[in-house]
């Protein structure tokens, strides 16, 4: 892996990529005859937490993999921070890859490395010139930032609870001070209290660090609590993007059954109770409903 290139500076404020750091147009992905996406458009706004939902197997993870260049689409274009991701991938892409952080579905920590060593992996890759002491210090800082105690730095993944593993994965995703954070099912497998704490951690990091977050989830509480907008994948494309109340106003059967089913109603009731108790409102009502592909 090449690590001798410095990361690009962020785009100038006000440019297209500054408004929409992720823009997907006409995406088609297929595995043989199995077409996963077709005519899929999506814009992610700078500074938002975009929830991505859809039935199991509708292609949420494949969409994320396409956006980060791990899945080459059959058709369409994907721009991330102004860079065309669908171009052939090579070492030049190192510039863009150090501007995002990823928490994969399932975590994917290296089991033979400690938490700190896991966080150091991207630092070693992208900034090999950083000395050992500074690298250790950065890793330690990211571990603490992710809400883990300092002792966790020297632990191996097998010694961590599920929630701690997620936080360690998050620390690694934050290693390079990314502008974009990709999270694939971050609260899956956590108990409700652990999931709520993780949600609040994501919201607080997003606000403090000014992150744009692409968050795949099945967790309705997460959608209500921290997502500014939600994109719904069905019928091989993004069928709607908007706040939850805007989505509820659409008449797509999957959206209706998802948000109006027993779990959806319970999450809504919990959210209303929180708001009645004076919890600061999330941003979810602020943004207007967009078409899947908003024009700037
Ligand atoms: N490498 C691959 N080769 C062949 N088919 C694949 C591959 N990766 C994904 N698929 C198929 O693509 C479809 C979408 O998969 P994907 O993992 O994106 O679903 P998902 O929406 O993330 O589901 P879940 O909610 O269960 O995580 C599935 O039918 C899956 O079997
Ligand atoms: Mg998935």
C-alpha 123 to ligand 2 mean position (Å) = 27
Mean pLDDT lowest for which of 75-84, 92-101, 165-174, 226-235? 92-101
- Quick one: pLDDT band at residue 292, thresholds 50, 70, 90? very low
pLDDT surpassing 50 at residue 268: yes
Q: What confidence tens digit (pLDDT) does each residue in 111-123 have? A: 999 999 999 999 9
Cα torsion 256, 262, 267, 268 to 10°: value is 60
Q: State which H helix or E strand residue 41 sits in.
A: strand 34-44
- Quick one: pLDDT band at residue 86, thresholds 50, 70, 90? low
By DSSP bridging, strand 180-184 and strand 100-103 are parallel
Closest C-alpha among 204, 195, 154 to residue 174: 204
- The token duo for 255 is 């959206």
Comparing 6 with 263, the larger pLDDT belongs to 263
The CA-based angle 178-182-188, given to 5 degrees, is 135
Whole-prediction pTM: 0.87
Comparing 87 with 10, the larger pLDDT belongs to 87
Residue nearest atom 28 in ligand 1 by C-alpha distance: 57
For 48-73+87-99+179-291, CATH number out of 3.30.300.210, 3.30.499.10, 3.50.50.60, 3.40.50.300 equals: 3.40.50.300
Q: Which ligand has an atom closest to residue 35 CA?
A: 1
**Closest atom, ligand 1, to C-alpha of 58:** 21
Q: What is the share, in percent, of the chain residues with pLDDT greater than 90?
A: 66
pLDDT surpassing 50 at residue 9: no
**Closest atom, ligand 1, to C-alpha of 62:** 18
pLDDT given at position 17: 64
Mutational test site, ligand 1, from 52, 57, 105, 215, max ligand atoms within 8 Å of CB: 57
The full set of domain ranges for the chain reads: 48-73+87-99+179-291, 111-177
The Cα–Cα gap between 136 and 117 comes to 8
Handedness of CA 88, 89, 95, 100 (dihedral sign): positive
Contact assessment for residue 234 and residue 55, using Cβ atoms and an 8 Å cutoff: yes
- Quick one: pLDDT band at residue 177, thresholds 50, 70, 90? very high
pLDDT given at position 93: 63
Q: Which ligand has an atom closest to residue 65 CA?
A: 1
C-alpha 61 to ligand 2 mean position (Å) = 4
pLDDT given at position 77: 95
**Ligand 2 being an ion, which residues bring their Cβ within 5 A of it?**
61, 105
Q: Which ligand has an atom closest to residue 63 CA?
A: 1
Q: Which residue has the tokens 């609260």?
A: 187
Contact assessment for residue 161 and residue 129, using Cβ atoms and an 8 Å cutoff: no
Contact assessment for residue 28 and residue 74, using Cβ atoms and an 8 Å cutoff: yes
Residue nearest atom 8 in ligand 1 by C-alpha distance: 62
Residue nearest atom 17 in ligand 1 by C-alpha distance: 61
**Burial (CB count within 10 angstroms: exposed 0-12, middle 13-18, buried 19+), residue 43:** buried
pLDDT surpassing 90 at residue 102: yes
Contact assessment for residue 117 and residue 157, using Cβ atoms and an 8 Å cutoff: no
Residue 251 CB neighbour total at 10 angstroms: 7
Q: What is the share, in percent, of the chain residues with pLDDT greater than 70?
A: 84
pLDDT surpassing 70 at residue 103: yes
Q: Which residue has the tokens 């938002």?
A: 48
Supply the Cα-derived Rg of the chain in whole angstroms: 19
Mutational test site, ligand 1, from 28, 60, 74, 222, max ligand atoms within 8 Å of CB: 60
The Cα–Cα gap between 145 and 202 comes to 11
CA distances 57 to 35, 45, 73, Å, are 11, 25, 17
Q: Where are the alpha helices (DSSP H) in the chain?
A: 16-19, 60-67, 94-97, 115-126, 132-145, 162-173, 192-209, 220-226, 244-248, 253-260, 262-276
| Three-state SS annotation for 253-267 | HHHHHHHHCHHHHHH
Average pLDDT value for the chain? 86
pLDDT surpassing 70 at residue 285: no
Comparing 273 with 5, the larger pLDDT belongs to 273
The Cα–Cα gap between 247 and 40 comes to 18
> Which residues does ligand 1 sit against, CB inside 6 Å?
31, 36, 54, 56-62, 105
Question: Span 123-130, mean pLDDT?
Answer: 94
By DSSP bridging, strand 75-80 and strand 83-84 are antiparallel
Mean pLDDT lowest for which of 35-49, 87-101, 131-145? 87-101
- Quick one: pLDDT band at residue 286, thresholds 50, 70, 90? very low
């Amino acid at each position: 892996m090449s690590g001798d290139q410095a990361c690009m500076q962020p785009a100038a404020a006000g440019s297209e990529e500054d408004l929409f750091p992720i823009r997907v147009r006409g995406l088609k992905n297929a595995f043989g005859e199995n077409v996963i996406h077709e005519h899929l458009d999506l814009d992610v706004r700078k500074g938002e937490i975009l929830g991505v939902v859809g039935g199991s197997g509708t292609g949420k993870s494949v969409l994320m993999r396409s956006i980060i260049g791990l899945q080459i689409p059959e058709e369409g274009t994907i721009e991330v921070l102004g860079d065309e991701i669908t171009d052939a991938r090579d070492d030049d892409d190192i510039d863009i890859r150090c501007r995002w952080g990823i928490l994969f579905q399932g975590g994917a920590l290296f089991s033979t490395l400690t938490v700190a060593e896991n966080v150091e992996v991207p630092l070693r890759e992208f900034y090999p010139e950083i000395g050992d002491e500074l690298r250790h210090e950065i890793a330690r800082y990211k571990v603490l930032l992710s809400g883990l105690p300092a002792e966790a730095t020297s632990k191996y993944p097998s010694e961590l609870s599920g929630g701690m593993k997620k936080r360690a994965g998050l620390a690694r995703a934050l290693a390079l001070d990314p502008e974009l954070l990709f999270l694939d099912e971050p609260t899956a497998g956590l108990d409700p209290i652990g999931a709520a704490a993780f949600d609040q951690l994501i919201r607080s990091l997003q606000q403090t660090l000014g992150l744009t977050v692409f968050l795949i989830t099945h967790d309705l509480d997460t959608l209500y609590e921290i997502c500014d907008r939600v994109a719904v994948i069905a019928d091989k494309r993004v069928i709607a993007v908007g706040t939850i109340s805007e989505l509820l106003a659409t008449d797509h059967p999957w959206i209706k059954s998802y948000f109006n089913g027993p779990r959806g109603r319970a999450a809504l009731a919990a959210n209303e109770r929180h708001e009645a108790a004076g919890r600061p409102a999330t941003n979810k009502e602020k943004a207007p409903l967009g078409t899947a592909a908003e024009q700037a």
